[in-house]
């Protein structure tokens, strides 16, 4: 049943996401195609609103865009540029530390391997997968709260955590959709399929959606 519904879901999500606000990380990828700036933007974005991430990343990249330049900038100036992003002081220290590792251990280039990315300070599986997908074009599913929530609401998977969702989606989605899944569901989750009281009345997916876990909607 899931396989039969997937082409319809995919077509609708692609169309709906195209009319919504582009996530900051998509903009960074589109404008720079630079894995390092995608990595840094993703670190800034953790527990931070998209509009704050956008402004903070622009201010920081006006000062430094390479690991060497970021190290020279130093944690204090990086933190000032990122403020008021969440945990900006901690993230600034992590950015300096990961930049040193990239410079000294990877010749100044972001490593295109999952294990190497996970070894960087402050980088978890979500960030690593996003960098692999958006920075290197490798098939990877970046599962954030929106991807986890909506995939379950649609009945494509039945999982309890984002980590479980990543494994389940690898079995459900064809590899050609792995990168796009996050691109589509993040803006859709922010605008329509919200965590609390989603806009089911205006959702193009409503006719075939089982709305798993939805208690109240608009």
Q: Any catalytic annotation for residue 91? A: no
Does the reported pTM lie above 0.85? yes
Chain-centroid distance of CA 109 in Å reads 20
Q: What pLDDT sits at residue 1?
A: 45
Q: Catalytic one among 29, 54, 91, 126?
A: 126
- Give the domain ranges of the chain: 2-21+141-208, 33-136
Q: Which architecture characterizes domain 33-136 according to CATH?
A: Orthogonal Bundle (1.10)
165: tokens are 């969702």
Q: What is the pLDDT of residue 2?
A: 62
Q: Mean pLDDT score of the chain, rounded to an integer? A: 95
Catalytic residue among 29, 54, 91, 144: 144
CATH 1.10.1670.10 fits 2-21+141-208, yes or no: yes
* pLDDT tens-digit readout, 32-79: 999 999 999 999 999 999 999 999 999 999 999 999 999 999 999 999
Residues 6+ apart with CB under 8 A from 206: 200
State yes or no: is 34 an active-site residue. no
């Amino acid at each position: 049943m899931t396989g039969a519904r997937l082409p319809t879901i995919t077509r609708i999500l692609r169309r709906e996401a195209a009319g919504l606000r582009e996530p900051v990380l998509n903009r960074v990828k589109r404008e720079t195609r630079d894995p390092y700036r995608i990595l840094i933007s993703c670190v800034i974005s953790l527990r931070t609103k998209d509009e704050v991430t956008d402004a903070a990343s622009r201010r920081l990249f006006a000062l430094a865009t390479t690991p060497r330049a970021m190290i020279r900038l130093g944690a204090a100036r990086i933190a000032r540029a990122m403020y008021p992003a969440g945990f900006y002081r901690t993230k600034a220290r992590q950015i300096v530390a990961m930049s040193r590792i990239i410079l000294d251990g990877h010749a100044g280039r972001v490593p295109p391997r999952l294990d190497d990315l996970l070894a960087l300070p402050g980088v978890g599986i979500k960030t690593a997968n996003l960098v692999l997908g958006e920075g290197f074009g490798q098939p990877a599913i970046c599962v954030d709260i929106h991807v986890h929530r909506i995939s379950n609401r649609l009945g494509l998977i039945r999982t309890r955590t984002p980590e479980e969702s990543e494994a389940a989606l690898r079995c459900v989605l064809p590899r050609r959709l792995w990168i796009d899944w996050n691109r589509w569901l993040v803006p859709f989750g922010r605008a329509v399929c919200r965590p609390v009281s989603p806009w089911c009345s205006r959702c193009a997916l409503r006719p075939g959606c089982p709305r798993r876990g939805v208690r109240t909607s608009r």
